[in-house]
Structure 1
Amino acid sequence: MINYVAPMLWTGVSQIFEADGSLRDIIVREISDPDWDKLISLSLRLGNVSYHCDGEDAVLPTSAAELLGDKEHAHCMKVNLGGPVVNAHFFSSEEIELDLDPREIGTQAALDKVLVFCSELSLTLERDVAITEESSPEAKLLYYSFQQRSWQIASH
């Protein structure tokens, strides 16, 4: 598969990942349960995946619908991209929200791993993907345009 990552240099975006005590979120909107299944498949292909239910190691269910429908437990799928770790918590079937710790993105190589994961997610789901401030989906920092097949720094 071809990665459509436009040159995004660490020196140009390092301020976005400055450690400030908060996480960064990866947001994909207007999705459905089958899109969550695609996220799980992509994660298994691109990273080392572990799953935790209520903080305990567990076997990742084969269907995201099972996780999305179970509001009595806390779910977390961790995707280790070979340095940075992306976490999925299965909060909503209408929106994928992943989080990552900016302290894990301090080099060009780490940035590239996150950007490749996000661009592959965009291409798989045929949706734009945004990296935002924690719990602020409207506060886009970077976004990948599915139509343009490129990364852009959000202007504030």
Structure 2
Amino acid sequence: MRDWNNIEWIFEKDGALRDIYVQNATISDWEKAVDLLNSKYKLTFGVYEDNLTDKIDFEYVKTMFAEETSELETKSATIDLNGITVKCYFFLENQIEFDINPTEIKTELELNTITDFMKSISSKLEKQITLCGENQPEFPLIKIDIKNGIEKILTEKDSEKLWKKSDQNFSRLKKLKSKIIMKYFPKLFEKKIMESANSEYKSTPKEKNVW
């Protein structure tokens, strides 16, 4: 039985988004995910309001993945989950990425809406899906893997324990960019953010996750 009081910390207003990842993805996973989104959810695909469509064009998505000149218009999808906005980005072929604004998750009802969405993706792809802090794929806060019977949401105490444990396995420059790091190591966090801003955006394999 979930206790919202132990979970709501994940969605505290802190100026950052929450990311949802399917790691170690393939183009086949993307195709399945797009088929699911197009068939089950209300969404828009595009850039500008005057040229949005109500379906994701998977052929265009594949073109974006193959694009190397940066001249192609980069499109994203906006999914409406009963009033909760989920953005889907097509950055990397080997990592499926969504984000949400935590301020929209105020009760267990909204939490269930998000976890149901995650379950539908996990079930369709038969893969693990995680919700993390913004740009923190190594530190899942929620992990769902329907195929393997996993559905885990961290309490704040769980997160602190994992942080301390992970600290033994990561160098100072590889520590996770979590709320805990921001709280206890603000200078380190600032330095890591600057490094990330100047580096190529790459996927994070599932094997690098803390748990």
Q: TM-score, normalised by structure 2?
A: 0.64
Query: 3-state SS of the aligned residue for 2:73?
Result: coil
Contact 1:142 1:152 (8 Å CA) reproduced: yes
- Residues 1:65 and 2:47 are matched in the alignment: no
Displacement after TM superposition at 1:47 (Å): 2.3
Q: Larger strand proportion, structure 1 or 2? A: 1
**What is the identity, as a one-letter code, of the residue corresponding to 1:99?**
D
**What is the identity, as a one-letter code, of the residue corresponding to 2:30?**
W
Q: Which residue of 2 is the match for residue 100 of structure 1? A: 100
Displacement after TM superposition at 1:145 (Å): 2.6
Structure 1 residues 151 and 31: alpha-carbon distance in aligned structure 2, compared to 1, 3 A threshold? same
Query: 3-state SS of the aligned residue for 1:39?
Result: helix
Q: Which 10-residue stretch deviates more, 108-117 or 31-40?
A: 31-40
Alignment of 1:40-59 (within 5 A): 40-53=34-47, 57-59=51-53
Q: Which residue of 2 is the match for residue 4 of structure 1? A: none
Q: Which 10-residue stretch deviates more, 127-136 or 138-147?
A: 138-147
Contact 2:64 2:74 (8 Å CA) reproduced: no
Identity %: 25
Equivalent-residue separation in structure 2 for 1:140 and 1:94 (angstroms): 18
Structure 1 residues 46 and 20: alpha-carbon distance in aligned structure 2, compared to 1, 3 A threshold? farther
Ranges in structure 1 where 5+ consecutive residues have no aligned partner: 1-6
Displacement after TM superposition at 1:11 (Å): 2.7
Query: 3-state SS of the aligned residue for 2:92?
Result: coil
Q: Which residue of 2 is the match for residue 20 of structure 1? A: 14
Size of the aligned set, in residue pairs, is 150
Equivalent-residue separation in structure 2 for 1:23 and 1:134 (angstroms): 5
Ranges in structure 2 where 5+ consecutive residues have no aligned partner: 163-211
Contact 2:123 2:147 (8 Å CA) reproduced: no
Query: 3-state SS of the aligned residue for 1:135?
Result: coil
Q: Which residue of 2 is the match for residue 133 of structure 1? A: 133
